[in-house]
Amino acid sequence: MNTTTGSPRAPVRTRIGLLLLLVPALLVSMDLSVLFVAAPAIARDLEPTASQWLWMMDVYGFVLAGLLVTMGALGDRIGRRRLLLTGALLFGLASALLAFAPSSGLFIVGRALLGLAGATLAPSTLSLIRVMFTDARQRAAAVGAWTVAFTGGAVAGPIIGGALLEFLPWGSVFLINLPCMALLLLAGPFLVPESRDPAGARFDLPGALLSLMAILGLVHAAKRLVEYGVDPWAIGALALGLLLLALFVRRQRRVEHPLIDLSLFARPAFGAAVTGNAVVSFAAAGMGLLTFTFLQSVHGLGPLHAALWALPTLLGTVLGATVSGTLSSRVRPAPIMAVGLALGAGGFAVIALVRPDTALPIFVGGYTLITLGVGMVGALANTLVLATAPPERSGAAAGISETGTELGAALGVAALGTISLTAYRNGMAGVDGPAGETVTEAVDTAPGLPTAEAERLLEGAFAAFTHGVNTAALACVALLGALSLVVLVALRRLPAGTEAPERIDA
């Protein structure tokens, strides 16, 4: 069956509009990870307390994850382009505040505003793609490009940030957002069409508040577990998050105009797509943080050199999305997604075998294999999300998918960070002080010690940290390998060409 029959191909103007939409998708994701390399310089200038530092690092992801579903649904009601342009203005203002923040308190405010703005941009861009591209193959290619921008942004953040920090102050990593947002505000009204839910359904404000508080509670619980282990605050936040999530689900089943059509989760295509996105984000984000620590601490690379070594990982994401988009019209979704997950698991298997003295091309090769799999899974998953959801609810559906992605990333950093940190502390059990807590503290401590003692400390620290990376990678091998088998079963009835909504019947 020709899935493109009766669907006109998008004109040149629409394709230029797509390029414009890729910019905010890239920046929203990039600003999640840019602090991986900018954090030391920011900490030296602003001198935050321990509590302030946690908020500086976490509040962007907290607010972004908490508002994605709400903003996606709001865009369906008031107009996706209108929400996109409003978010672009706020994103630019928040970026300027961050670049020139004179204190930790204002930096935290700026990161919170940036998260709010980012939550308006990401679901708007993806849902507008569905409206702009009615031809199934063009839509699949457009979603693949969006996936490269959104997923690749998390990889590109440390790369671009590292390059900028080699020559410019840390504020430059935020100032690059300003010309991009100005371009979106000027060209958006001419290149991007307006779209909204024609029914004009009421916005479920109580449901939006419940979803925000539930997600914030769950993310805070994950972050708390990383920093302090299992304590009453972490358990309380987890319990509150789950309770509010249950109340949100209950409300969505009863309210006349829900934020989320929960019946979508009964369809294998939608459930598998959201789960696949969340899991690969979990694995890739968690390993991304460990990767840059490994490159800069164990191998002693500066920000720019670490960024250059990481470039192939960005190309892996591009290649994965391209392969997935090319195959989707001829090959069933189940094997494409399963192969992508298997490739990611293979990359993690390589990382699980590295040692402190392993050649960097081997390590980077394994990580590139991970991003290749992530690109394949992400492109197909986002296509299935848009194809499954009714057109008038595409913003909310995009918000669900991206919420899964951001929650997966937050939990990935939390879980893999905990696994790695536990392994490091066990390996350094005989070392007192900060050097026994993290490898970066060990690197900072070594120059003040006698030569022989410093060498022993670094040798032990590098071995312990690498073992932690190995252990985290093994956990991802098991997770992605298991999910590859699950999607083979869950998507087994879907035919090739499921990027066209009319083909999804399961």
Q: Which of 118, 117, 100, 115 is nearest to 57 (CA)?
A: 115
| Sign of the four-CA dihedral 44, 112, 148, 9 | negative
8 falls within a domain:
no
Length reported for the chain: 506
Instruction: Check residue 501 and give its pLDDT.
Output: 44
Strand segments, DSSP code E, in 179-280 are: none
Q: What is the pTM of this model?
A: 0.76
Q: Are residues 435 and 346 in the same domain?
A: yes
Q: How many domains, in total, are found in the chain?
A: 2
Q: Are residues 266 and 247 in the same domain?
A: no
> Is residue 170 a contact partner of residue 55, using CB atoms and an 8 Å limit?
no
164 falls within a domain:
yes
Q: What is the pLDDT of residues 220-273, one digit of tens each?
A: 787 677 666 778 888 888 899 899 989 988 888 887 777 777 777 777 777 788
Instruction: Check residue 476 and give its pLDDT.
Output: 92
4 falls within a domain:
no
Range of the domain at 208: 204-256
Regions in the chain scoring below 50 on pLDDT: 1-5, 500-506
Q: Are residues 232 and 338 in the same domain?
A: no
Read off φ and ψ for residue 325, nearest 5 degrees. Answer: -65, -35
Q: Are residues 40 and 186 in the same domain?
A: yes
> Is residue 94 a contact partner of residue 42, using CB atoms and an 8 Å limit?
no
Last residue in a domain, options 239, 256, 273: 256
Distance CA 314, CA 156 (A): 7
Q: Are residues 224 and 267 in the same domain?
A: no
Distance CA 28, CA 72 (A): 15
In the numeric block, which tokens belong to residue 335?
């094997």
398 falls within a domain:
yes
- Contacts (Cβ under 8 Å, ≥6 apart) of 118: 28, 31, 60, 64, 87, 91
Q: Cα–Cα distances in Å, from 221 out to 35, 50, 277, 303?
A: 21, 18, 21, 31
Q: Are residues 343 and 391 in the same domain?
A: yes
Amino acid at 161: G
CATH code at position 443: 1.20.1250.20
Quote the DSSP letter at residue 437: T
Last residue in a domain, options 222, 256, 290: 256
3 falls within a domain:
no
Q: Are residues 216 and 276 in the same domain?
A: no
- Contacts (Cβ under 8 Å, ≥6 apart) of 43: 53
Q: How far is CA 164 from its chain centroid?
A: 22
10 falls within a domain:
no
Q: Are residues 232 and 334 in the same domain?
A: no
> Is residue 280 a contact partner of residue 347, using CB atoms and an 8 Å limit?
no
| DSSP assignment of 480-492 | HHHHHHHHHHHTT
Q: What is the pLDDT of residues 299-329, one digit of tens each?
A: 888 777 887 888 888 888 888 888 887 887 7
Distance CA 426, CA 460 (A): 11
Q: Which of 454, 466, 387, 364 is nearest to 423 (CA)?
A: 466
Q: Are residues 365 and 230 in the same domain?
A: no
Q: Are residues 198 and 209 in the same domain?
A: no
Instruction: Check residue 421 and give its pLDDT.
Output: 78
Last residue in a domain, options 227, 256, 285: 256
Q: Are residues 152 and 216 in the same domain?
A: no
Distance CA 24, CA 19 (A): 10
Amino acid at 410: A
Instruction: Check residue 181 and give its pLDDT.
Output: 93
Q: What is the pLDDT of residues 13-52, one digit of tens each?
A: 888 888 888 888 888 878 877 876 777 778 778 877 756 7
> Is residue 22 a contact partner of residue 149, using CB atoms and an 8 Å limit?
yes
Instruction: Using CB atoms within 10 Å of the CB of residue 134, give its burial: 0 to 12 exposed, 13 to 18 middle, 19+ buried.
Output: middle
Quote the DSSP letter at residue 176: T
> Is residue 346 a contact partner of residue 478, using CB atoms and an 8 Å limit?
no
